[in-house]
Structure 1
């Protein structure tokens, strides 16, 4: 094994260790967050339906209908398997340490998210080990893949979809891998709609440029995406078009609602989140470093040309994700997870660009000294 490969393997292993350590602490220490107070009671409602064999009622649950049920069903199955009792929700304070009676539920469901978050880091390590290290200690990625949020599972499917799409592109969009990437994209969308949207917009320019008028690749990705999306989304089974339209229009309406307007977050708020250390400062003992708040975005910009040359799908994913975040009115910090894996890959390229420049400068200085001595 070459020295370069050995170093890459070492960095990848460090990234996974950091990811596990930081997320384990976050699972244990973070207090209940706002969306957990919505998703976890719904998970217990689903669990009761499953226990009673009321499979047909799952698609009819209207609470939180704006988000597909896949991740909430996974939370439901998790509490069923672990036997975690439903907490008395009024006794679980917001933002405070989890009470002992509620701890089994939070540990079980948060652990599901954390495993998906660590797997994302491991998959990114296959693309860029330095990018995986940046993702491992990123405070936003840590927080929202260590709580019972919807982000971790669709984020994992989205990363898998990018990897499969890269393989499909290298093979000239042969139907096999193209269909696999589409199915994974459909699963990501069935976890949370924006992951499918950003992934689809990332794939589109490559399909237009590489597949053009060939119908097989287009059919493979469209059919597989739609099939996977519908298969694991019981909320759409009875009336797919009407229910999907209702969810989409809800999100559009919510993004222009009084709640969003009152938050008064500017259009550039995602960039402000990415360049601030407020989150890494918020819970001492959980987040390892403030590095990403100071350097991630500049390194990603610096590494974008290199990533475009080496892994163009990830470069486009980073740009598409950032543009989506800047255009979409809802600016909550968990939306950053749509773009963080691709952004960290670009930032890993930025680190290597800086290192290459430093080596070039060092050698130039050394050569100048030798020439001056001669």
Structure 2
């Protein structure tokens, strides 16, 4: 094994260890967050439906209809498998340590998220091990893949979809239909977990499809048909009235992004960038987040590494750009939305770190060469 491959393997191992350590601590130590107070009671409602064989009622549940039920159904299955009793929600305080009676419910569902978060780190390591290390200790990725949020599973599926799409690209103008179908199916599944993951993933793939498969209907069919089919089959909320229900969800998100709640938060258009360079989260709770390094280095390294990533793995460079543009344009600026772009951004930053290391090596080489020249003279 070459020294480069051995070093990559070592960095990957460290990234996975950091990811597991940090998310394990976050699962146990983080207090209840606002969205968990919405998703977990719904998960128990779904669990009761499943126990009673009332599958038809899953799509009819209107609470939190703006998000598809897939991840909440996975949370429901987690509490069913573990037998975690439903807490008395009025006795679970926000922003305070979890009561012992509530821990089994939070532990079962949060561990599901954490596993998906660690798997994301492992998959990113196949693209760039240094990028995986940055993702492993990133405080935002850790927090929102260690709580019962909807981010971790769709994020994992979106990463898988982009990896499959890379495999599908056999050149600038050619695609492997089988891998294209796989990437489409994974993208549909990601969208069935949370809509923005499908949207950002689809917009990332679109330029390559337009330039490479512009006049090839078979390539488009191989991608679009699995995407639409899996999205529909994995989203029970659409089964009774697909178009009306989807339109209702889409318009809810648009209306909410312009709602009084969002306007009252008064977050500026550049807030996603402000989140990325603010170390507040890494300092918010001692003993969870290993380092605040990303607040100082992630964006600069991503900028430096973007040209290299474009040359080596262009899908991820486009993914980082599309994700950032989406976050800047979309009116809702909550920090968990950063997970739409963090894997691709960390891959660009990993390329930036390698570029900086290369500059350093060149500088050392020049200094040594000058020293030898001076000594010889």
Task: Give the TM-score band, short-chain normalised.
Answer: over 0.9
* Aligned match of 2:246: 244
Query: Which residue does the alignment assign to 1:111?
Result: 111
Mapped partners of 1:238, 1:170: distance in 2: 39
Q: 1:268 aligns with which of 267, 270, 292?
A: 270
Q: Mind listing any 5+ residue stretches in structure 1 that lack a counterpart?
A: none
Structure 2: distance between partners of 1:170 and 1:83: 47
CA–CA separation in structure 2 for the residues paired with 1:369 and 1:121: 42
- Shift in Å at residue 50 of structure 1? 0.5
The C-alpha deviation readout for 1:280-310, integer Å capped at 9, x for no partner, is 0001100000100111010001100000000
Aligned to 1:314: 316
Corresponding position of 2:83: 83
Q: Which residue of 2 aligns with 1:14?
A: 14
Aligned to 2:328: 326
The correspondence for 1:178, drawn from 166, 180, 185, is 180
Kindly report which structure 2 residues correspond to 1:141-156, keeping only aligned pairs within 5 A, or say none: 141-156=141-156
Q: Which deviations, in whole Å up to 9, do the C-alpha atoms of 1:54-76 show, x marking residues without a partner?
A: 11111000000000000000000
Partners of 1:242 and 1:224 in 2: CA distance: 21
2:120 corresponds in structure 1 to: 120
Contact 2:131 2:350 in 1 (8 A): yes
Conservation of the 8 A alpha-carbon contact between 2:36 and 2:149: yes
Where does 1:44-83 land on structure 2 (aligned, <5 Å)? 44-83=44-83
Give the secondary structure class of the aligned counterpart of 1:170. Answer: strand
Number of residue pairs the alignment of both structures matches:
374
3-state SS of 2:46 partner? helix
- SS across alignment from 1:281: coil
SS in 2 for 1:331: coil
Out of 361-370 and 345-354, give the one that drifted further: 361-370
CA distance in 1, matches of 2:312, 2:189: 27
Deviation at 1:91, TM superposition (A): 0.1
Show the counterpart of 1:201. 203
1:339 corresponding residue in structure 2: 341
**5 Å matches for 1:158-169?**
158-169=158-169
**Residue 295 (structure 1) aligns with:** 297
**C-alpha distance in 2 between matches for 1:217 and 1:140:** 36
Query: TM-score, normalising length from structure 1?
Result: 0.99
Task: For structure 2, list consecutive stretches of 5 or more residues without a partner in the other structure.
Answer: none
Deviation of 1:170 (Å): 2.6
Cα displacement (A) at 1:208 = 1.0
> Quick check: 2:153–2:193 contact (8 Å CA) kept in 1?
yes
What is the Cα deviation at residue 372 of structure 1?
2.8
